[in-house]
Amino acid sequence: MPKASFHSIAPLSSSLSISISFAPYTKRSSFLRFSFRTTTVRAMASHIVGYPRMGPKRELKFALESFWDGKSSTDDLQKVAADLRVSIWKQMADAGIKYIPSNTFSYYDQVLDTTAMLGAVPPRYGWNGGEIGFDVYFSMARGNATVPAMEMTKWFDTNYHYIVPELGPDVKFSYASHKAVQEFKEAKALGLDTVPVLVGPVSYLLLSKPAKGVEKSFSLLSLIGNILPVYKEVVAELKAAGVTWIQFDEPTLVKDLDSHQLQAFTHAYSELESSLSGLNVLIESYFADVPAEAYKTLTSLKGVTGYGFDLVRGAKTLDLIKSGFPSGKYLFAGVVDGRNIWANDLASSISTLEALEGIVGKDKVVVSTSCSLLHTAVDLVNETKLDTEIKSWLAFAAQKVVEVNALAKALAGHKDEAFFAANAAAQASRKSSPRVTNEHVQKSAAALKGSDHRRATNVSARLDAQQRKLSLPVLPTTTIGSFPQTMDLRRVRREYKAKKISEENYVSAIKEEINKVVKLQEELDIDVLVHGEPERNDMVEYFGEQLSGFAFTVNGWVQSYGSRCVKPPIIYGDVSRPKAMTVFWSSLAQTMTKRPMKGMLTGPVTILNWSFVRNDQPRSETCYQIALAIKDEVEDLEKAGITVIQIDEAALREGLPLRKSEQAFYLDWAVHSFRITNCGVQDTTQIHTHMCYSNFNDIIHSIINMDADVITIENSRSDEKLLSVFREGVKYGAGIGPGVYDIHSPRIPSTEEIADRINKMLAVLETNILWVNPDCGLKTRKYTEVKPALSNMVAAAKLLRSQLASAK
């Protein structure tokens, strides 16, 4: 791979100006063309926390994957990235945004960018100093042929994933990526003054973990004095480049922090005060209320000019502001939702903003987004097939930028009456539309509250009944659901959707693919099979398309991690299941084998957490409605002879509120929703569930309370962190399959490596409950990776079976 600095940019002329047109990315052509025009919109007090990076049509995704596959060069990738950054900045400038962020673009993840900036590269990647290039950067993110990737976990309670820094007392920090400065200069060359955004030093440490070999009790905050010199270097270079405002994202301020952790903020910003002198400093928080003690700490920090708050998910913060806000400071009021796609209620927001002006001063309120717009879709303009009425209720990132500026103009006495009137009409239409409400569904959901919906028999007795029926070996092997989605497969689905091929030809092609996947699993000697999900585009969208109350986009993509994007459905109304969704394909697959074939469903909590959810009723109500629809599907699968049914709850922990005081309520209705889906099946029907990346140790009792027969769970990429909960004495009686290898990396683990992982599991789990499986579905991998990895997995399971038999 060519050596390159990962922040390097294509040369940009200061006279460059921008009229944007997009075309598919190719190696030889840029997808953007630029021509300059000066914006005539007056810049009001408006700010955007951050913006999606992938591009309106996922241009960055395709450029990254082309580069990773060796089909395009470093220059090609950097050109696509530079074009995207410029289009984003110019879009905000044209909309009239005053405080435009820079350094929110990333080739993979903003926390990984910070790790690169600090030179905190784990030794296994062989970095020897100097500016960090793509080779080291992408090895940390994705692993390579010889070493695994760094751990990836959820970013707070979103579906975005960040790369977890691995730190310890021996890490030598150094300024190793000048990306923040380069991007500021890049914008400056276009005549745009931006606000460079850095992950704040305290949040960076609090989001890290002790590296392998470092004591778990090691205080990550003890490294604050080691990283601040690098932050000072970055600030000095930004100052020299002409920066006037700088934004530090400190989202951990919304969590339950102890006094020692809060003291770290005071210490860090006191240390930075002289370096920041002469700059306007914004500390940004988001995703929840800021607790009273954290608010007190934050608003007392030295050298800070403004404070950013999420006033959508953190409405209680309003009370703290009303009770006292530091005189002369700026309030960046996050009233436009960065986490959802509903149009802002402008009248309500203006009322809030005017009340805030009365507290902090008329010229001290800056209208902002609640968080980065990274978590919403890019541009509603690209949705030409969306129902007109539903479309009028929505705003994607590009529209939210316009909303922010419209609110700022109105606050400054320049209200766009027509824009506000159209918004009010859309709000009224959504409240009164008959398509939103289904009385039968509402009554069915209301009737759920009298029971906790548990299966009649305990899990131990059920597992005995299931084993008599299934006759599985010790350490049974399975996969999580999906198999590789080839280009041919995607083409077949695309052509069927576009009515270019007949239903008969489509069914024939999918049937052929299922047959291929079944035969492969039989050849590999896997015990419980899957049909590979060739008919499915996405594990949530596939179900949403068959449920009422959902709407779908063509280009509503949101970054999940790296180049991986998801297209969340929009839940706009009451949810029900008009007809069976998966029975045809699962039944067909079962006829192709004598081995058990898993029916594959997505659970209600995951459908909820991976959708853009209606905000006009409690999320729990919507979840119960989805649970009833999935319950109907589970019972139809059982009637069709499917004896193993997996109900994925990949995102159960993702919805966990950030504050402990709110977690019990969420877990109660989320776990209850899962139990509703399968409470009516026979003892001999085995219910599996699957969970993705997260720290489960603090919710293990809720996971047990789900009462599934078997749970498969991410484990390999987090250094078997999950197993520690069992070492600490938690008794788990159901079947469990902690993932034995990481499917998010192209690396193929050896039989010995997998056997070693299984042995670690056997040290803390009973032999008769342990399953052997990968971490997650195989959809994003290639068959050249999947076949040897699964072959090694099965060989490892057989090796351990023979050793266990010999020991007996």
Neighbours of 43 (CB within 10 A): 16
DSSP 289: P
Determine the pLDDT at residue 6. 53
Mean pLDDT lowest among 5-19, 55-69, 256-270: 5-19
Between CA 181 and CA 234 the distance in angstroms is 8
Copy the structure tokens of residue 562.
């790296």
Between CA 616 and CA 599 the distance in angstroms is 33
Copy the structure tokens of residue 631.
């319950």
- The residues with which 154 forms a beta bridge, in sequence order, are 161
Asked if 149 and 717 count as a contact pair (C-beta separation under 8 A), the reply is yes
DSSP 54: S
Average pLDDT over residues 99-117: 98
Q: How confident is the model at residue 743 (pLDDT cuts 50, 70, 90)?
A: confident
Average pLDDT over residues 148-152: 93
Q: How confident is the model at residue 5 (pLDDT cuts 50, 70, 90)?
A: low
Between CA 422 and CA 419 the distance in angstroms is 5
Asked if 607 and 544 count as a contact pair (C-beta separation under 8 A), the reply is yes
Determine the pLDDT at residue 154. 86
Q: What is the pLDDT of residues 61-81, one digit of tens each?
A: 999 999 999 999 999 999 999
DSSP string, 762-781: HTTS-GGGB-B--SS--TTS
Tell me which long-range contacts 489-498 makes (C-beta under 8 A, separation of at least 24).
Answer: 489/513, 489/534, 493/535, 493/537
532-564: burial string, b at 16+ Cβ within 10 Å, e else: bbbbbbbbbbbbbeebbbbbbbebbbbbbbbbe
Between CA 711 and CA 689 the distance in angstroms is 5
C-alpha closest to that of 575 among 533, 617, 535, 539:
617
More confident residue, 713 or 462: 462
Specify the amino acid at residue 445.
Answer: A
DSSP 614: -
664-692: burial string, b at 16+ Cβ within 10 Å, e else: eebbebbbbbbbbbbbebebebbbbbbbb
DSSP 378: S
Determine the pLDDT at residue 724. 74
Q: What is the pLDDT of residues 26-52, one digit of tens each?
A: 433 333 433 434 444 334 799 999 999
Determine the pLDDT at residue 745. 82
DSSP 53: S
DSSP string, 675-695: HHHHTTS-TTSEEEEEE-SS-
Between CA 141 and CA 745 the distance in angstroms is 9
DSSP string, 312-345: SS-TTHHHHHHH---TT-EEEEEEE-SS--BPP-
Neighbours of 414 (CB within 10 A): 11
Q: How confident is the model at residue 697 (pLDDT cuts 50, 70, 90)?
A: confident
Determine the pLDDT at residue 692. 78
**H-helix or E-strand spanning residue 248:** strand 245-249
Determine the pLDDT at residue 720. 62
Q: Is the pTM of this model over 0.85?
A: yes
Between CA 802 and CA 808 the distance in angstroms is 10
pLDDT at 479 over 50: yes
C-alpha closest to that of 201 among 163, 165, 240:
165
Determine the pLDDT at residue 452. 84
Asked if 14 and 28 count as a contact pair (C-beta separation under 8 A), the reply is no
Asked if 116 and 103 count as a contact pair (C-beta separation under 8 A), the reply is no
Asked if 623 and 677 count as a contact pair (C-beta separation under 8 A), the reply is no
Residue 775's φ and ψ, nearest 5 degrees, are -65, -35
SS3 287: coil
Mean pLDDT lowest among 519-533, 625-639, 696-710: 696-710
Determine the pLDDT at residue 721. 64
- The residues with which 333 forms a beta bridge, in sequence order, are 309, 367
Tokens 């019972």 correspond to what residue?
A: 635
C-alpha closest to that of 604 among 589, 622, 618, 588:
622
Between CA 546 and CA 537 the distance in angstroms is 13
Length of the chain: 808
Copy the structure tokens of residue 441.
């569904």
**H-helix or E-strand spanning residue 648:** strand 644-648
Q: What is the pLDDT of residues 555-589, one digit of tens each?
A: 999 999 999 999 999 999 999 999 999 999 999 99
Rg (CA), the chain: 26
DSSP 594: S
Neighbours of 228 (CB within 10 A): 18
Average pLDDT over residues 376-385: 96
Which sequence positions are flagged as catalytic? 744
Q: What is the pLDDT of residues 203-241, one digit of tens each?
A: 999 999 999 999 999 999 999 999 999 999 999 999 999
DSSP 681: S
pLDDT at 396 over 60: yes
pLDDT at 717 over 80: no
Look over the chain and give the mean of its residue pLDDT values, rounded to a whole number: 92
Q: What is the pLDDT of residues 320-346, one digit of tens each?
A: 999 999 999 999 999 999 999 999 999
The dihedral over CA atoms of 485, 491, 496, 500, expressed in degrees to the nearest 10, equals: -170
Mean pLDDT lowest among 81-85, 390-394, 703-707: 703-707
Q: How confident is the model at residue 538 (pLDDT cuts 50, 70, 90)?
A: confident
Residue 418, judged by CB atoms within 10 A of its CB (0-12, 13-18, 19+), counts as exposed
